[in-house]
Amino acid sequence: MNYRQLGRSGLKVAPLAFGGNVFGWTADQSTSFTLLDAFVEAGFNLIDTADVYSQWVEGHSGGESETMIGKWLRQSGKRDDVIIATKVAKWSTHRGLAPDTIRAAAEDSLRRLGVETIDLYQAHEFDPDVPQAETLGAFARLIEEGKVRAIGASNFSAKQFSEALEVSSAHDLPRYESMQPEYSLMQREEYERDLQPLALREEVGVISYFALAAGFLSGKYRNPEDLEGRARGGMVEKYLNAHGLIVLRALDDVAARHDASPVQVALAWLMARPGITAPIASATSLKQFGELVAAAKLDLDDSDMQVLDRASSKA
């Protein structure tokens, strides 16, 4: 496995992260444990979750994913084999980035995960009501106490992230070592125009989400009938147009050259993009997980990348 540096944090991560939103939701305990064991055995190590996962599910209150990961850590004894990344700010129980909120949320996450230290603690979204110096100061105290190793930010604009870096420098506070934007073959412009130059210039790690555009890039959805009865049909529908079909055809062409699947190619493209440290992908079965393993082993050449770049560009 080719591990990559996550910003300047000192954390070394495999080039693909496991999205933990499925744990305790679409993956029950037995399935979650099986997938996590397979994840470690394959050489991967970064697990991304959040305190809010999976509050959106009827009958859930939030904290389910962290609780499931914590149970697995206790049973497996594999704490030293993984890097745990979680987030604060979006859960109604601990909403926003005020210092007291961050403190309470971190303590709760540590308890659910059953760990002494969160490896990467991320602001899940920007909080316009709290000065960034106060937020970063709260993170600093958690780092000083050994409860957090490094911090990152998710869903920040380039302007918000850049301002955070300036505050860190001006006040001698820990800086965000990672950003977590949406990025895929179907969603390129914002990251590539604004965030990629910032990440490369400041040596910030990038852990991108929605790597498969809500499943569209799997190639399963090619006409409106394919969306019927699908939970993510509404999220996928916006991609089902002339541009989306061009991207799918390019994925098919590159996949055929490598005896691979569209999923594998879409993820391999991401892992090869400038600045990307580890895109996030999920699986709810060992068959799906096998796709992730294969993607990490797939080397796309310059010709492959050019085909995909041209097809997915809206310029």
Residues involved in catalysis: 53
Ramachandran region, residue 158 (left: φ > 0; alpha: ψ -120 to 50; beta: rest): alpha
Question: CA 176, CA 174: separation in Å to the nearest integer?
Answer: 7
Q: How far is CA 84 from CA 135, 200, 240, in A?
A: 21, 24, 35
Residue 18's beta-bridge partner residues?
47, 281
Question: CA 267, CA 286: separation in Å to the nearest integer?
Answer: 17
From the list 29, 271, 116, 167, the residue with the least C-alpha distance to 280 is 271
Residue 189 φ then ψ, to 5°: -60, -50
Dihedral, CA atoms, 142, 143, 145, 148, nearest 10 degrees? Answer: 80
Question: CA 242, CA 314: separation in Å to the nearest integer?
Answer: 11
